[in-house]
Amino acid sequence: MKCRTTIEKISTNLFILLSGLAIPFAVSAATPHHIHIALSNTSEAVNWYQEHLDCELAAGRDDVVICGNTEIEFFLGRTVGGSEGTGVDHIGFSVPDLDAKMAELESVGVRGSGVRLIRFDDGALVRDIPGLFKIAFITDPWGTKIELVQDEELLGFHHIHLNSVDPGAALDWYSQVLDGERDILKGMLEGVLFDDIWLLATEYTDGRPGITQGRTIDHIGFEVADLDAAAARMNQLDVEFRQEPMVPDGARTDAKQAFLLGPDGVMIAVVESGWAGIEEEEFVADSSESTVLYVVPRTPWDEPDLQGIWTADAAHGIPLQRGVDAGEAGELTPEEAAARRERGTLNSIWGYDREWRDTTLGYVKTAPSTQIAMVVDPPNGQLPETTAAYKQVVANAPPRIPPQRARTPVDLGTYVRCITRGPVGMMMPSIYNNGLQIIQSPGNIAIQKEMIHETRVISTEPREGYGDGLKTWLGDSHGRWEGDTLVVEVRNLNGRTSYLGSSEEMKLTQRFTRTGPNTLEYQFTVEDPAVWTEPWTGMFTFVKDDSQYELVEYACHEGNYGMTNTLSAARTIDAREAEEAANEE
C-alpha cells in the first residue's frame, strides 16, 4: 500500500516547489504547520505559552507563538470544553529536565498563571516509563491538555496525540493522505513522523471521541507547497473536504487554505507555503447603551422598577483602587479591558475548568468594563488613610492562622464556611455566580445575590431606629427612594463580616439607579471612623440579562466535605511536622 501510494503521489506531482527550489518528481508531502486553539483572550494566551512553554512570539503577529517548528495560533471563540476526550486529546512538549519543570510549575500554582497540574493515581506529578521517557500532564488555563516529556533527542514541540476507535487505521490515514512516515517512537509507540514532529494515537474505548471543532484544540494544520495539486491527489483517496482550496476572506496572504475531516472527528487545515493566518475580528460584545433621555420604568404602584436578573460579569476585573501607575487615563481601551478581565479570571480559577467561569469571554453578552477602578471618591481612586488607632490595632494583632493550619472551623473565614461575604463583599463581582435578582412589592424590595444565595428583604417605608441594638451578619437595612435611586443604609453589623478591616461601627450606604434599559449603576459608600480617616465610595455597573442568565443553586461545600478535608489536612501537616521534629531530636 505504501509503495502504491508513493507512486500515485509522484505521478500527480511531477514538479512542486520545495524549500524554494523546483525539484522534479518530488512528493507533495505535508509538514506540521500549526495548532489552532480557541480561547477567550489571545494576549494572555501568548504570554502564558511564552512563559511556561518557552515559545516565542511570531514576527509581525500578536496571536501566534512559535514552538520549535510548529506554530500555535490563538483565536477568540466560544468553546464547549477542553481538548481532552476529543479526536486530538492533547499536544506534547519536550523539556530537558522534567522534574525541575514540574517543580517550577507546582511552585507557581493555579493562581496567577492558571497552570493546572494533573496527578497520576498515586499522586505523583511525573512518571518514568522505562525505555521511553519521563512524562507529566498539565492543562493551560483554557482547557488544552498538554503532555510534558523528557526526550533529549527532540526538545520543544514534540507530538500531537490523537484519540481513535482504531488507532492503526487512523495512523495509516495520516501517513497516506499527508505523507507522514509510519514509525515507532523509541521502539514502543506506533506513530507517524512528520519531519521531527510525532503524531501518536491511543485507542478510545468510551464510545467515539468528541469532534475537535468547538473545543479548545479546534483543528490542526499541515502545510504543502501546492495545495491544488495536493487536493487533487487527496480526492483520489476519497478524502472528505469541508472546504475546498481557496483564499479565505481576511487572509493575510494569497496562500490557499482547505479543510479536511480526518478520522475520529479531527478537523484538519491544509495550507500553502506562505500562509499567515486570517485577520480575525475582535470579539466585541454589547456595550452599555446610551443613557440620553432614558426614562426609568415604573411599577404599578409608581415606584422606579428595578426588577429583573442582573449580572456583574462585565465588572469582573475592575480593581478596587486605581493603580499608582495608572496615569491620567480615564478608562481602558476595549482590548486592555478584555486582557485585564482574563488576568482576573486566571488569578482566581483555583483549578476550576473554564466551564465554571462565567466571565470567560464569549459566554458573556456584555463587553468587559473599561472602568479604571471602583473607587470614585476620593477622586484619586485610592482608599483614604487608615487612622492611627487602627494602625496600632493591626500592629498588635496576633498572626492570622492560615487555612492549612486551621484548628477549628472558626479559624476559617465566613466565606470559606459558606456563611456570608458580608454586605460589601457580597455585591462584588467574581469569576462566577455574579447574578443579582431584584423583586419589588409595595413598600418592600428583595435583593438576592447568587453567590451563597444571600437575600435581603428591605423595607422602603419610613422606620425609626436600627433594631434596638440587635446586630447581625448583614446588619439592619433601611431603604428609601431619592428620585429614581434606591438608597439603602446598613448599620448594626456584628463585626464578623469585616471588609478590608472594617469594624462593627461601619455604616454602608448603597445606591441603585437604572441608567438605561439594561444597566443598573451600583454605588456604595463606606463610613467607618474607627478605620478610615474619611468615607470612601466605589461604583460599578450591573447588566440586565433576563433572557440568558438564571440564578442557580449555590451548594458550596456539597455536604461540607470541604470543611472536613481542610481540617483533616491541617492535622496531617501537624503530625508530619511533629514526626520531623522528633526525628531531629
Convert the pLDDT of each residue in 108-153 to its tens digit.
765 556 678 889 998 899 999 999 999 999 988 888 999 999 998 8
CATH 3.10.180.10, the chain: domain bounds: 2-272
Predicted local distance difference test score (pLDDT) of residue 26? 35
Give how far the C-alpha of residue 491 lies from the chain's centroid of Cα atoms, to the nearest Å. Answer: 37
Q: With a threshold of 0.85, does the pTM exceed it?
A: no
Contacts of 60 (CB under 8 A, 6+ apart): none
Predicted local distance difference test score (pLDDT) of residue 16? 30
SS3 content of the chain, % helix, strand, coil (to 5): 20, 30, 45
Mean residue pLDDT of the chain comes to 85
Q: Which DSSP category does 551 fall into?
A: P
Q: What are the start-end ranges of the E strands in 407-565?
A: 435-441, 444-449, 454-459, 476-482, 485-491, 507-516, 519-527, 536-544
Q: Whole-angstrom Cα distance, residue 584 to residue 51?
A: 39
Residues of the chain with pLDDT under 50: 1-27, 283-288, 291, 361
Rounded to 5°, angle at Cα 223 from 5 and 232: 45
**Closest among 13, 33, 37, 35 to 25, alpha carbons compared:** 13
> Which superfamily is assigned to 2-272 in CATH?
2,3-Dihydroxybiphenyl 1,2-Dioxygenase, domain 1 (3.10.180.10)
Residue-wise pLDDT for 453-500, tens only, equals 889 999 999 877 666 678 889 999 999 999 999 999 999 999 888 999
Contact 2, 9 (CB under 8 A): no
Burial letters for 311-347: b for 16+ Cβ neighbours within 10 Å, e otherwise?
A: bbbbbbbbeebbeeeeeeeeebebbebbbbbbbbbbe
Proportion of the chain above pLDDT 90, given as a percent: 57
Predicted local distance difference test score (pLDDT) of residue 79? 78
| SS3 call for 554 | coil
Predicted local distance difference test score (pLDDT) of residue 312? 92
| Residue-wise DSSP of 231-300 | HHHHHHTT--EEEEEE--TTBSSS--EEEEE-GGG-EEEEEETT---B-PPPP--BPPPP-TT----B-T
Q: Give residue 469's identity as a one-letter amino acid code.
A: G
What is the SS3 assignment for 321-365?
A: CCCCCCCCCCECCHHHHHHHHHHHHHCCCCCCCHHHCCCCECCEC
Q: Whole-angstrom Cα distance, residue 205 to residue 166?
A: 10
Predicted local distance difference test score (pLDDT) of residue 416? 83
Residue 309 parent element (H or E)? strand 308-311
Longest dimension (CA), the chain: 96
